[in-house]
Amino acid sequence: PPLYVITPTYRRPEQIPELIRMSHTLMLVENVHWLVIEDAKVPTKEVTKFLNRTGLRFQHLTAPMPAKYKQKKGVKPRGVSNRNRGLKWIRANATEGVFYFADDDNTYDLDLFTQIRRTKKVSMFPVGLCTKFGLSSPVVKDGKFSGFYDGWVAGRRFPVDMAGFAVSVKFLLQRPNATMPYRAGFEEDGFLRSLAPFEPREIELLGDNCTRILAWHTQTKKNEPSAALDMKLYRSTNLVELKQ
């Protein structure tokens, strides 16, 4: 059965390089279907062109963040419209397998893709470089789930990172109302709660009983826009021309 990787992405100078890195990871994974979902009204030409070159099995979809959240100042619910669009696609097109929410800027251990395939309901595993604590992970005692460790608990029932869990498609299909809320910081918890009935003790522990980090919450430094986005935008002051 296929592995569905749901990747939210949006237009910025780092977009294509992030997608390049991610595609190179997925090229090493068998039977993977990449759902690339842009926070945009129309698909970006450069992204379409890029995806066609990868040779990967992919779906290029769009799902703009609703205006009322976009206009809000402060933290926005990033990637939520995209991920819900991915869930909608899975409900309409998939019958088996496993899906995973993979942000475009993270770093993924190849073992992650092997391990999450065996997910029956919801599996979880450690994520590195997460918050200033550097780690988000289920806590395992005597081989059994006993709680969570996360740098930001905030009363969440499932204090986990987006990159720290995978879900079986069949399990999702049995929960027609499962959805991700537009609530910054509470996207993971809201989505996992919406899978009810599902108890934390049912979590399938991966990464050798959560002793190994399988995903890293890497973040790319923001870059100046013009150069990466438009090759024709030379600044005359920085242009050295060949003399005759």
Does position 150 interact with Mn ion (CB under 5 A)? The reply is: no
Shortest gap between Cβ of 104 and Mn ion (angstroms)? 8
Instruction: Please indicate whether residue 188 is annotated as part of the active site.
Output: yes
Nearest to 166 by CA among 240, 88, 112, 228: 112
Which residues here bind ligand UGA, judged by CB under 6 A? Answer: 8-10, 39, 65, 78-79, 82, 103-105, 161-162, 184, 187, 217, 219
Supply the DSSP string of 112-144, one letter for each residue: HHHHGGG-SSEEE--EES-TTTTEEEEEEETTE
The catalytically annotated residue of 18, 38, 187, 188 is 188
Give backbone dihedrals phi and psi of 210, rounded to 5 degrees, phi first.
Answer: 60, 35
Comparison of 162 and 203: residue with beta carbon closer to ligand UGA: 162
CA distance 139 to 121: 18
β-pairing verdict for 98-101 and 165-168: antiparallel
x/- binding map, residues 51-80, to Mn ion, per CB under 5 A? ------------------------------
Closest CB to ligand UGA among residues 70, 118? 70
Q: Which residue has the tokens 């059994």?
A: 144
Binding status of residue 104 toward Mn ion by CB under 5 A: no
Q: Does 105 bind Mn ion (CB under 5 A)?
A: yes
Cα separation, 82 vs 9, in Å, equals 8
**Catalytically active residues, by annotation:** 188
Residues that bind Mn ion (CB under 5 A): 103, 105
